[in-house]
Structure 1
Amino acid sequence: MTSGVKWNEDYADPQSDVAQFSRHEPEPGVDITVSYMRQLESEAEPGTKWVYKTGETNLIGVLASSASGKTLSEYLSEKVWKPFGMEQDATWLLGSTGHEISGCCVQAATRDYARFGLFIMGGGLVDGEPVLPEGWIAEATTKQADIGKPGAGYGYQWWTLDDGAYIAQGIFGQAIFIDPKRRLVIASNGNWPQATDRQGDQGEERLAFFRQVQKAIDREAQR
């Protein structure tokens, strides 16, 4: 999210990049993400400015799919979903050129989102064997960029907290909260009336709930 590419993530703005992406007419034979992203202008030197951009997560998905030679759904199913024992099948929405929209749009059971949290908290292991490169989770869940909010930051696709916890956040309130110190995973559904990437007061209320669970665990440990 520090590429320096100019991007507007405002979901209420019909002229934002997230809105225009869904209406974009891709070039013939080119994935919609690549077609849209490569037309954008730069506004800062890479590594100097953090701006949340769903388009960059979409682009990561294109790269992962191209490198593996499989759809993201197939790759996720093969590497994590089936071997880790998820309870139900999941679905993933496709863009206009037939590729999964990797910055969003996975529909799965809440318990399976929690299982995914356990997978990450456990080091990305399946039957004791690593699925992810050594050290990646530690780097990904550590603050790599300042987002202008005290006590919080952004890693590699994870929102980080300075106490060591980290979160996957959805724009309608969905979340996977992971606190390795307390061995805690919370998966929450979302029902916010308006989409938002910066979370605002509703995000603070949700975080306050997670904090209360942490305190409850601490109280229980002291008994």
Structure 2
Amino acid sequence: MRSLLKWLLRIVLALALAAVVVGLWKREELMRLMAVNSLFSEEKIVQNFSNMDDAFLTVTVPRGDGPTWELPYGPDFDLPDGAARWIEDRAVTSLLVLHDGEIRFEEYYLGTGPDDRRISWSVAKSYLSSLLGILLAERAIGSLDDPVVKYAPELSGGAYDGATIRNVLNMASGVTFDEDYLDYNSDINRMGRVVALGGELDDFTAALQDRFTNPGETWQYVSIDTHVIGMVIRGATGRSIADLLAERIIAPLGLERDGYYITDGAGVAFVLGGLNFTTRDYARFAQVILQNGVRDGQQMIPADWIAEATWPSAPTAAGKIGYGYQWWIPIGAHEGEFLARGVYGQYIYFDQARGVVIVSTGADRRFRENGVNEENIEMFRKIAENL
């Protein structure tokens, strides 16, 4: 009996030791998974969105060695009626208004500040679109009508086989992908856990097999389409997105701080929503877009690409918000009015005719409620009209 007890004790101790070893070995992955599970909690969301590098693997997007592009301050501007309530209701964390290249309004809320590098979420998609436009003009990529498998052959035989680059730019791949952020088992949340646990998004994407329609027929917002754009760019150039973006767009902008991408376990940038910059540095990128890709006489991003990318070319439903190549076009938009948009209240709004850019970051846990996006766009329009 005593020997049996000793044997059982040895087994228990061995199992306990094994658990400790596994816990230490997987500690980082477990910590990231815990962080993901509480990323959007009411008490942590604002802090988390300024410190995504505490929860995820990241890669720096260096600002380069050039001087900072100083954004001058113009005359003070009072926000229109209703703005204070809107800021509170929408959990706005920063708001910056540029008019004719001058800062007319800049404020930070909920404990954030100008040095915070805020998560862009899907605003990052519009950065990637701009990079693709540069590479297309350079002929590194042949045509928007090339099949994605030409540059990302690992997608052959899966859901993306048969889709073109234009299809994924338009969010019209036809690939089945559940983007319900509130459903723990949705595809978008499964993808988030892949990133948190150090998995590989290329493998995750290649494993998708189902389509609900043929490519090009129907618009449906599918964030994984943007990862495919990243796969195409990497396949065409043999280089990382972070390096290309830094070289072609970020370094010429003269940012205040380095940015960074969240990455997966292979160091691949989370291009569909993982960029992090300060509010002012988002504004620097936005000002170049507003100026049709030109900064200080240098054509950084092709003007014809910006015009094409911000045109509502996707097969969206009649009377609904329009979509271009990873850019949104509001209902009733006039020429030169478009926006980049991310979940939880991240926006860059453009009114080229008025020379206005508005950058707004947020931690709005009610962003999916009916009418919220329309409310935000109406506030941006009121601000632009009142300058």
Pick the TM interval, shorter chain. Answer: 0.7 to 0.9
Query: Is 1:14 matched with 2:181?
Result: no
State the Cα deviation string for residues 55-94 of structure 1 (Å, max 9, x = none).
Answer: 1111212222332332222111111111121121111100
What's 1:209 paired with?
Answer: 379
What's the secondary structure of 1:40's corresponding residue?
coil
Code of the residue aligned with 2:210 in structure 1: it is E
8 A Cα contact 1:171 1:195, kept in partner: yes
State the Cα deviation string for residues 112-162 of structure 1 (Å, max 9, x = none).
Answer: 111111111212234433333451111100101243373620000000133
Given the alignment, which residue of 299, 305, 311 partners 1:142? 311
Change (3 A) 1:155 1:171: same
What's the secondary structure of 1:143's corresponding residue?
coil
8 A Cα contact 2:292 2:302, kept in partner: no
Shift of 1:24: 4.4
State the Cα deviation string for residues 186-219 of structure 1 (Å, max 9, x = none).
Answer: 00111112564xx7432222112101112213xx
8 A Cα contact 1:68 1:75, kept in partner: no
8 A Cα contact 1:11 1:195, kept in partner: no
Unpaired runs of 5+ residues, structure 2, are 1-170
For 1:133 and 1:215, the matched residues in 2 are separated by: 28
What's 2:234 paired with?
Answer: 65
For 1:110 and 1:134, the matched residues in 2 are separated by: 24
Q: Give the aligned CA root-mean-square deviation in angstroms.
A: 2.1
Unpaired runs of 5+ residues, structure 1, are 26-30, 218-223
Query: Is 1:163 matched with 2:334?
Result: yes
Given the alignment, which residue of 263, 267, 275 partners 1:98? 267
8 A Cα contact 1:90 1:106, kept in partner: yes
Change (3 A) 1:194 1:92: farther
Percent identity of equivalent pairs = 32
Code of the residue aligned with 1:140 in structure 2: it is A
Given the alignment, which residue of 176, 179, 191 partners 2:363? 191
Given the alignment, which residue of 169, 177, 187 partners 2:349? 177
Tell me the TM-score normalised to structure 1 length: 0.85
For 1:4 and 1:69, the matched residues in 2 are separated by: 27
Q: Which has the larger radius of gyration?
A: 2
Given the alignment, which residue of 81, 85, 91 partners 2:254? 85
For 1:181 and 1:125, the matched residues in 2 are separated by: 16
For 1:86 and 1:151, the matched residues in 2 are separated by: 35
Query: Is 1:44 matched with 2:216?
Result: no
Query: Which deviates the most, 168-177 or 91-100?
Result: 91-100
> Which structure has more RCO (C-alpha within 8 Å, separation ≥ 6)?
2
Tell me the TM-score normalised to structure 2 length: 0.51
What's the secondary structure of 1:150's corresponding residue?
coil
What's 2:245 paired with?
Answer: 76
8 A Cα contact 1:33 1:55, kept in partner: no
Code of the residue aligned with 2:183 in structure 1: it is D
8 A Cα contact 1:7 1:51, kept in partner: no
8 A Cα contact 2:367 2:373, kept in partner: no
For 1:143 and 1:23, the matched residues in 2 are separated by: 33
Query: Which deviates the most, 200-209 or 145-154?
Result: 145-154
Given the alignment, which residue of 197, 203, 207 partners 1:35? 203
Aligned pairs, how many? 210
8 A Cα contact 2:260 2:276, kept in partner: yes
For 1:181 and 1:96, the matched residues in 2 are separated by: 43
